[in-house]
Every structure is written in structure tokens, then in C-alpha cells.
């Protein structure tokens, strides 16, 4: 069968760099760090005292108090991001066929804050089980797409993807496939996460996965730098309106970019460490490129997973050269995690959003906080260190990798 074409017609986000798409994009191209000291709980006894948290967040700006109390932060961020994307798409919700509109959302952890607070209350209440009746609906990952579908009455496919840090990129690929197979016309897809809390920080500290550069949080996320000491936890959400091309054209929609391919793979190596030679990363990029049916030389920008971890950054750059050969040196690459941090299950969607905006605006966002390149990493690669640069981008690839060896790559191209 002939596959349908898929385009991006709406975007929305809330994260440490901005409470909407425009604020986020301006921060990205200006090289702003979203990292700051945590003020939501006492970090005195924590090895890490900072994260990329949303600034001045007030749920009552977006939700009535009784509603906000029933929603964990990750679901709040999902609804806020989706709402901006829907508005941005100019969808006429009274005219579309809602049986052919769905929601697929990526969440890596879910309601960690709610889970922590409820168990803490249970212990403080002498182990008397007086749990909130909304406890379970607040913590489960699939509640986010559930709430989105209820709000917009989208009655098509509705589920959550869970693949650790690759969750939201996986959601985008699934949504893309439903549309191009002709099953639906419109999908809201993306991801959200809210793990910059007691359990999240303490858990990743125990793994020695996150930076402890408490004296200088804004420079703590240092992808590819010799001084990197782990990633920085971020929080927020990012949403896409994905639409079948003819459907979008018929209603006169603006089109950011065309979604042309997605690839998945597994490292099959280790629960947290990447394969040292980038085996899974190599395979996933090749899978995405083959799926997109695009010449490798047409990729002008790659948003690397680039977490600022010792092993991951080295393995991914090896994989990039494995896939692209000499063309790797002609590609502009960057890790926007250096600015917005690692949003765990939501990071793939936010970095895909950055890639789409890079195509639309002809600007490569930078990798900030570069001081000295790790000598084990090829210095001839174009990392776009510290400053954004203008460049026509015909097509962009975005990588997302997760604990458990989950790998996802997505590819967008300039819409003509």
C-alpha cells in the first residue's frame, strides 16, 4: 500500500527554558541554561542540589484548584503542552472527524511526586492506609493521554509509550505510523515528565548518573566536555500535532516540517550503559534513514542525545561516524540538553521540537558549556559549541536513547 505523508502542524511546550514555544526557541538560540538551585524541597543532604526546573510555575494559572489537585505535575505539563499545540495548529475542533483523531504520549516514570507524597503520608500516619482516592489515577503513565483525549474528545488510538528516556520519541514514531498507514488523520503526540523531586534526585544520585556541580549549576550540563560529570534532570512537556498531509492542505494549515521517518533499536547490552561501540545507536539511525528513504547526504543537522555522561557521549559520536562516514563532518550537530537538561521520558519530544524549529528557522541551536573537548571525541565534528549558527537545513535527525537499551531516531525535512 502507498503510505500517507505526515506533517507537523502544531507545537507546544513548557520547560525550564520557557513556558511556551516562542520563549523556549529564543532561549535555545541564545544559549540560555535552564539549570538552577532547587527550591521545592530542602536539598541539604542531597549530593545534587539543582535541576532544570520550570520557573515560577503556578498550576492555578492553567487549572482550577479542584482540577489541579487531581493531576500530578507530569499530567499538568502534558495538558499545557497539548493545549498550546492545538491552539497553534488552528484546528477547528467542531469540523474534524474525532473518530480519526488520537493521542499517543510518552512518559518514562509518571507520577513520582504523588507516589512519594502518598507513601510519606502513610508512614507519618502510623501506617494507617488513608490514601487519596485519586492516588492511582494520578500516578499511572497512561493517564496523561487519557486526559488529553477527554479534553478534546479525540476518540482514536489512545495510549502511553514507556521506553525510559526514549519514551516520547517512541510515541512520535507510533503516532507517525498510525497516520501514514491511513488509520487516523490527526494525532496529538509528545511527552511529559516531572521527576525533579526528592525521589528523582536521590534515585539518580544513587546511580551516580547526574551532575553534582552544585557550585555552578548553569554550566553543569557539559556534553562532550572533558569535565562532564553526569546529566542534569529537567522537567516539562512537549507536544506535536501530527497530521496527514492532504488533510492539512485541505484545511489550509501551516506546516512546520514533514515527518519522514522513524527508527527503533535495542542495544541488548546493559540496563544503563550504552554499547561502547554505539551498536544500537548506529542501527537506530540507519533504520530511521532507511525508513525515510532519504540520502544520508541530505541530513544537515543532528540533535544528539548528548547527555553529558562519560560513556554515552563517546558511544554516540562513534555511531554518528559509523553511519554517515565522511558526511558526518559536514553535518551540524548539537545537544540541546546542555540548555534544557534531560527531561527523561519527555526529552525526545522536546529535542524533536527543537529540530523542527531549526529546520523552519534555518538556525542550529548550540551545545553550550563547552570548555575543553574530551580527547576521546573527534574534534573535527561540528558540535556548534556555545553559539547558534545560521544554516539552511534540508533535513534533521534527532536521537533519543534510554535505560534498558532503548533507542529511537526521528527524521524531519523542510516542507516545500
pLDDT tens digits, 92-108: 999 999 999 999 999 99
**Across 396-415, average pLDDT:** 97
pLDDT bin (cut points 50, 70, 90) of residue 391 is very high
Residue 35, pLDDT score: 98
Known catalytic membership, residue 415: no
pLDDT of residue 416: 82
For residues 156-179, average pLDDT? 98
The yes-or-no verdict on residue 319 having pLDDT over 90 is yes
Residue 106 to residue 221: CA distance in whole angstroms:
23
Burial class (CB within 10 angstroms; exposed 0-12, middle 13-18, buried 19+) of 199: middle
Say what the pLDDT of residue 181 is.
98
What value does the mean pLDDT take over residues 397-405?
A: 96
Known catalytic membership, residue 52: no
Is it the case that residue 53 has pLDDT exceeding 90?
Answer: yes
344: left (phi over 0), alpha (psi -120 to 50) or beta: left
Q: Give the burial class of 324: count Cβ atoms within 10 A of its Cβ; 0-12 exposed, 13-18 middle, 19 or more buried.
A: buried
Predicted model pTM: 0.97
Active site residue 165: yes
Q: Is the pLDDT of residue 9 over 90?
A: yes
pLDDT bin (cut points 50, 70, 90) of residue 331 is very high
d(CA 401, CA 263): 12
Please choose, from the candidates 412, 6, 11, 8, the residue with its C-alpha nearest in 3D space to the C-alpha of residue 182: 6
Question: Does the structure show a pLDDT above 90 at 60?
Answer: yes
**pLDDT for residue 254:** 97
Instruction: Average the pLDDT over 326-342 and give the result.
Output: 98
CA dihedral 306→308→309→310, nearest 10 degrees, is 100
| pLDDT at residue 28 in the model | 98
Average pLDDT for residues 64-71, to the nearest whole number?
Answer: 97
Q: What is the pLDDT of residue 298?
A: 97
Per-residue pLDDT band at 276 (split at 50, 70, 90):
confident
Q: Write down the pLDDT at residue 307.
A: 95
Q: What is the mean pLDDT of residues 32-57?
A: 97
What is the percent of the chain with per-residue pLDDT over 70, rounded to a whole number?
100
Residue 193, strand partner residues: 236
The residue from 52, 147, 165, 406 that is catalytic is: 165
Which one from 275, 342, 370, 406 is the annotated catalytic residue? 342
Q: Which residues in 218-242 are b (16+ Cβ under 10 Å) and which e?
A: bbbbbbbbeebbbbbbbbbbbbbbb
- Of 305, 340, 370, 406, the catalytic one is 305
Q: How much is the pLDDT for 1? A: 78
* Residues 6 or more apart whose Cβ sits within 8 Å of residue 108: 162, 163, 164, 165, 167, 191, 193, 195, 344, 345, 346, 402
The pairs formed by 176-181 with CB atoms below 8 angstroms and a separation of 24 or more are 176/6, 176/242, 176/259, 176/262, 176/410, 177/262, 178/102, 178/104, 179/4, 179/6, 179/242, 179/243, 179/244, 180/3, 180/4, 180/5, 180/6, 180/244, 181/1, 181/3, 181/4
What are the CB-based long-range contacts (under 8 Å, 24+) for 122-128? none
Q: How big is the CA angle at 361 (ends 282 and 380), to the nearest 5 degrees? A: 40
Average pLDDT of the chain, as a whole number: 97
- pLDDT category at 30 given cuts 50, 70, 90 is very high
Amino acid at each position: 500500500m502507498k503510505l500517507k505523508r505526515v506533517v507537523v502542524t502544531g507545537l507546544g511546550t513548557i520547560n525550564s527554558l520557557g513556558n511556551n514555544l516562542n520563549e523556549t526557541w529564543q532561549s535555545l538560540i541564545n544559549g540560555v541554561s535552564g539549570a538552577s538551585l532547587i527550591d521545592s524541597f530542602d536539598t541539604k543532604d542531597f549530593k545534587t542540589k539543582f535541576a532544570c526546573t520550570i520557573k515560577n510555575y503556578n498550576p492555578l494559572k492553567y487549572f482550577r484548584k479542584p482540577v489541579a489537585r487531581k493531576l500530578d505535575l507530569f499530567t499538568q505539563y502534558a495538558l499545557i503542552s497539548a493545549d498550546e499545540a492545538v491552539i497553534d495548529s488552528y484546528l477547528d475542533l467542531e469540523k474534524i472527524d474525532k473518530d480519526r483523531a488520537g493521542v499517543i504520549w510518552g512518559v518514562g516514570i509518571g507520577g513520582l511526586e504523588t507516589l512519594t507524597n502518598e507513601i510519606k503520608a502513610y508512614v507519618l500516619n502510623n501506617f494507617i492506609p488513608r490514601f487519596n482516592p485519586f492516588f492511582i489515577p494520578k500516578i499511572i503513565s497512561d493517564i496523561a493521554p487519557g486526559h488529553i483525549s477527554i479534553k478534546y474528545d479525540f476518540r482514536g488510538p489512545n495510549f502511553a509509550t514507556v521506553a525510559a528516556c526514549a519514551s516520547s520519541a517512541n510515541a512520535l514514531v507510533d503516532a507517525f505510523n498510525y497516520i501514514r498507514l491511513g488509520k487516523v488523520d490527526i494525532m496529538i503526540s509528545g511527552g511529559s515528565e516531572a521527576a525533579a523531586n526528592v525521589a528523582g534526585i536521590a534515585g539518580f544520585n544513587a546511580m551516580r548518573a547526574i551532575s553534582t556541580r552544585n557550585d555552578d549549576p548553569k554550566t553543569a550540563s557539559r556534553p562532550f566536555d572533558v569535565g562532564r560529570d553526569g546529566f542534569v534532570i529537567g522537567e516539562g512537556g512537549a507536544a506535536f500535532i501530527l497530521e496527514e498531509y492532504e488533510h492539512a492542505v485541505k484545511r489550509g494549515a501551516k506546516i512546520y516540517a514533514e515527518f519522514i521517518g522513524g527508527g527503533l533499536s535495542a542495544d541488548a547490552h546493559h540496563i544503563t550503559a550504552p554499547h561502547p561501540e554505539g551498536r544500537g545507536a548506529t542501527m537506530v539511525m540507519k533504520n530511521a534513514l532507511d525508513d525515510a528513504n532519504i540520502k544520508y547526504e541530505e541530513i544537515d543537522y543532528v540533535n544528539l542525545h548528548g547527555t553529558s555522561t562519560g560513556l554515552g557521549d563517546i558511544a554516540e559520536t562513534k555511531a554518528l561516524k559509523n553511519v554517515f562516514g565522511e558526511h558526518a563532518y559536514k553535518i551540524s550537530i548539537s545537544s540541546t540538553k546542555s540548555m534544557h537538561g534531560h527531561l527523561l521520558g519527555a526529552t525526545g519530544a522536546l529535542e524533536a521540537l527543537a529540530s523542527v524549529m531549526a529546520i523552519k528557522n534555518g538556525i542550529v541551536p548550540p551545545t553550550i558549556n563547552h570548555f575543553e573537548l574530551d580527547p576521546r571525541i573527534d574534534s573535527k565534528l561540528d558540535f556548534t559549541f556555545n553559539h547558534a549558527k545560521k544554516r539552511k537545513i534540508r533535513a534533521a535527525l534527532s536521537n533519543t536513547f534510554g535505560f534498558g537499551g532503548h533507542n529511537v531516531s526521528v527524521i524531519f525535512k523542510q516542507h516545500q
